A and B are shown apart, each in its own frame.
Chain A
Amino acid sequence: MTGPRPRSAPPAARLTARGVVRRYGGIEAVAGVDLVAAPGRVTGLIGPNGAGKSTLFDCLAGTARPDAGRVLLGGRDVTRLPVHARVRLGLARTFQQIAVFPTLSVADNVRVGAEQRPGRAGDRTARALAVFGLEAVAAEPAGGQPTGVLRLVELARALAGGPRVLLLDEPAAGLDTAQTARLLTVLRGLADDGMALVLVEHDPDLVSELADTVYAMADGRVVAAGPTAAVLADPRVVRAWGR
């Protein structure tokens, strides 16, 4: 693409969770979790069903408020901020069940993300569309697109907002092998550019291929954390994952 470069790439930021607790009824879905997602790295979050991954993810993204603990974005406490305010500070997310706006065109889907920050929304939209190769379908309604394209539309929308941290909830669900490969390349590229990525994932192959650091959760707690290979080889993790 030939669009202008960003005036300045968004400054890198670290996402930190400190002692995050979230209860549902009497159950602690997340029971005091510490987590750091560093700029330029992909941080994986794994665990069996009910381990508390999604709840932790919601606490990070802002769809759920922690009952205790704090969430910091680049040193700023965002624990009490609503979702859109976090997004505007550079904390973007994608959904496990694709969240696009079916009545808007692909380009307008991305533009909605670009328009929520000051600056030239048109440029940011064009750039995000180009990164994911969506120019050809830009004018078409998003509602009619196949799953693979919609995943990319959602990512492009998140990217158009200029995030510093990107939370990904099973981003490869519903994608075929080729699409997944392309996605991995793009995500790797984003991390190499200094973005902090958090990846909630069921697929061990994807985690081992993409993540630099992995947190393994069980029963609301982190049971293992560290370099990907080490965590995936941890006996507790192997047992939980059954491989």
Chain B
Amino acid sequence: MSTLHAAALHSVGLHPAALHSVGLDSAGLTVDLALAGLTVGSAAALSGIGLVVCHRATGVLNLAQGAQAMLVAYLLRDLVVERQWPVWPAVACCLLLVAPALGVLLDVLVYRPLQRRGAGAAETMVAGLGVFVLLIGVVVLVWGAAPVGGAPSPFGGGPLVLPGGHTLRPDTVAQLAAILVLALTVGATTRFTPFGLRLRAVVDDRRLAELAGVDADRVSAAGWAFGSFTAGLVGIALAPYLLLDPYGLPLLVMETMAVAVAARLRSIPVAVVTGLGLGVLQAELTRFRPAGQLLPLVQAVQANLFVVALLVAALLAGPGLTGGRGGVDVPPARARGGRGGRAARAVCLVLLLLPLGFRGNDLRGALLVPALALVLLSIVVVTGYGGQISLGQAGYAGLGALGTALLMSGRVPGLPALPAAPALLFAVLVTAPLGLLTGWPAIRRRGLALALVTFAVGTTLSRFVFQQPYATTGLVLDRPAFLAGDRAFYLAELLLLGLGAAVVRALHGGRTGRALSALRDHEPGAAAAGVNVPGLKLFAFVAGAALAALGGGLMGMAGRAFDPAAFDPVRGLLWFAAVVVAGADSALAAVLAAALITGLDAGTVAGVSAVAVGALAAAIGRLPGGLAGLATAGAARAGAPPPTPPPPPSSAGPTGRLTPAGRRVRALIAARRASGGQAGP
């Protein structure tokens, strides 16, 4: 099992099963487990330090951290195992050269243009997800998608023996030392050096700091270099305990984001304590074994404590954690143009009808397109129309597929085994109200806070519902008998997709659609117009859950099995980025994105779709409105000027909170202006 929990136990040579069968119960075990927990805990703490420092220097939560960690871990393994480099020079090259360079490169190419433009939290977030997906794609292209073992550890020696016979791995000691050094260095730098003052000024108000002569670009470049360096450190620290896996490892590192979120992206001591605490707690929980039915749940919590912590931390962080400085939740949509829209519609129609001429494996591969398009349509409804970021739609798709399988297998108490079609319908109806799981948190959250909560919900569903034994063994999932043939099933999928698109279109053109647009464009304005904002948000998430469940059910039927990996949260991130890249606010975007993802991977090499989607999403700063935006940009230029985003919330105004450094900068500017300087805007 590739979880942080497994890594922790492995680190002291304990295997969960062995532990349970022996039933050890001594004070010595408590200490051993705590020491084991420190291994993962210190990696999480390092991850937290990196996220917090990077956020403080750049104002951006580095969502791609997990992918950066994975890239560095793969590179180190490649250098040491494949190219036979000595370990230490390889580590130095990875950590001191490659990782910081990667950070600076990302800053220059991706984040700086966004910051210059004053892009909102959502665009910055999409760019971060783009980098995440892009790096995963690159790793899959270079090193393949299959998990590999044998990641080197720089510490070859035997364990340190502590008084009492307890042992501590040397790399754990090194990680703890690294935490101490980094925390002290960062603390001293921000407090006592001129660079620290500049850093704090930039964090307060980038524009004002620049006007006062601070080179804000250098500050954020330093932030990204540091963030990337710690990401590499985390990757190298965790990799020896795990199989390197392009999807699994980034997700594990993303789970440790819980630590930074708990620290409100500000406090390094809180991040360190939380990281170490969670690591130790996770290890100690192994001993807690209640009898009876609770056991599987408790074991799931033990194995996925960081996921639970991320969910709790994201929920507790609440509305305050917006990430970035105000701005709208989704990139501003373009007014829809006539001609560009018509061309896109024609392209989509051809893309969907083309597979009817396919046979064999090609046709089977194409079965994914309409099903995935329905799942992506749910992202269009929730994010594109309603402006609510949802990174958890893969979870609802999985619930649709799992529900169908459970109903078909007669595993639902009180119900006989249902035929395929009623099972799918029933699963959709049951999943729809579960949309409240993300809809309810969305009422009071937006931007980054909402993104983290929905991601955590999706990950929780994946770990606690999909990856459990009952879901992975002995389930039947098949197509209705009259649709057993691939072509017939594809036609049925097209019919359902058409139906879904028609319903969504009717909805969007009517009263609900206008209210959703109002909600996306300006939430307080929508409420002031009388729109029931909480109710509308719940509706959007419920409708989205139903669409995703339908698509997920069809995906399962197409493959004739429930595959938990198909609804992996990381895949959900790729889907979200693909929809935003394709234009987000039209049903066509869903079809386009589904065809892009499926077609690229089937037609070329695995990983190409991730690279393409990731690169486009990372370039969102240069491509507002996505691909569809490009198509309609001509129309927009010919007609009215593009819509201006609504003004940011007043909290970002000139009277916002300033730290002493910020006030000093402002005073400086005021003085220059008074003396007739050119500094004023």
Contact = CB atoms under 8 A, between A and B. Distances in A.
B532 interface: yes
B335 A84 contact: no
A143 interface: yes
A112 B528 contact: no
B643 A112 contact: no
A132 interface: no
A144 interface: yes
A114 B47 CA distance: 51
Contacts of B644: 102, 143-144
Interface in A135-191: 140-144, 154, 157-158, 161
A83 B528 contact: yes
A99 B643 contact: no
A31 B521 CA distance: 34
Contacts of B514: 104, 108, 111-112, 115
B338 interface: no
B643 A144 contact: yes
A101 B514 CA distance: 10
A84 B527 contact: yes
Interface string A55-86: 00000010100000000000000000011110
Contacts of A154: 525
Interface stretch (A32-40, A88-96, A205-213, A232-240): A88-96
Interface in B338-396: none
A43 to B, nearest CB: 19
Given A104-B517, A112-B531, A95 B525 contact: yes
B524 A101 contact: no
B388 to A, nearest CB: 16
A143 B642 contact: yes
Given A82-B534, A97-B650, A108-B514, A61 B642 contact: no
A50 to B, nearest CB: 10
Given A141-B643, A143-B642, A103 B333 contact: yes
A97 B528 CA distance: 13
A102 B643 contact: yes
B336 to A, nearest CB: 9
Interface residues of B, number: 33
A23 interface: no
Nearest to A110: B529
A99 B517 contact: no
Nearest to A104: B517
A113 B527 CA distance: 10
Contacts of B518: 101, 104, 109, 112
B640 A102 contact: no
A87 B514 CA distance: 17
Nearest to B641: A144
B511 interface: yes
A61 B526 CA distance: 13
B383 to A, nearest CB: 14
B646 interface: yes
Chain A contact residues (Cβ within 8 angstroms of B): what range? 35 or more
A102 B332 contact: yes
B23 interface: no
A104 B105 CA distance: 38
B644 to A, nearest CB: 6
Nearest to A87: B530
A217 interface: no
A199 interface: no
A167 to B, nearest CB: 9
Interface string B631-643: 0000000001111
Interface in B13-44: none
Contacts of B213: none
B522 interface: yes
A99 B640 contact: no
B647 interface: yes
Contacts of B524: 63, 83, 95, 99
A112 B526 contact: yes
A141 B531 CA distance: 20
Nearest to A163: B530
A113 B521 contact: no
Given A112-B514, A112-B518, A141 B529 contact: no
B330 to A, nearest CB: 11
A98 interface: yes
A86 to B, nearest CB: 9
Contacts of B522: 99-101
Contact of B647 (A85, A98, A109): A98
Given A102-B645, A140-B640, A142-B643, A113 B530 contact: yes
Interface of A: 61, 63, 82-85, 87-88, 92-95, 97-104, 108-109, 111-113, 115-117, 121, 140-144, 154, 157-158, 161
Given A99-B522, A102-B644, A144-B643, 9 more contacts: A85-B532, A99-B525, A101-B521, A102-B643, A103-B517, A113-B530, A143-B335, A143-B640, A154-B525
